[in-house]
Amino acid sequence: MTLPQRIDNIETAIFDYEVANVANNIANVFYEIVDGRIIDVDNPEVMGRFNLVMGACLSAMQKKDYLLLADQLEYELKPMIRGRM
């Protein structure tokens, strides 16, 4: 399964309010992005933007604002990794 497909699955789980594994699945996606060097981890600007997205996702999860989380994944994270897979 590709990374964008995994993100789609997380979004689907959110929309179905099956949120028990969402945090773990998102952590795995972020780990894969960094470990797999899907983004330019040596570029401070790219990493800064990525860190902002991770922070926004964490904040949304803490507030249990899952729709905001889904928006962050769809409109911030996916465009960041698009074309780098």
The string of pLDDT tens digits covering residues 32-65 is 999 999 999 999 999 999 999 999 999 999 999 9
Is it the case that residue 85 has pLDDT exceeding 70?
A: no
Domain ranges of the chain: 3-81
Dist. CA 65–CA 79, nearest whole Å? 21
CB neighbours of residue 75 within 10 Å: 10
Is it the case that residue 82 has pLDDT exceeding 90?
A: no
Tokens representing 15 are 């929309």
CA torsion 29-40-46-83 (nearest 10°) is -70
Kindly give, in sequence order, each residue whose CB lies less than 8 Å from that of residue 50, ignoring residues fewer than 6 positions away: 33, 34, 39, 80
**In terms of Cα–Cα distance, which of 83, 78, 81 is closest to 8?**
78
What's the predicted TM-score (pTM) here? 0.90
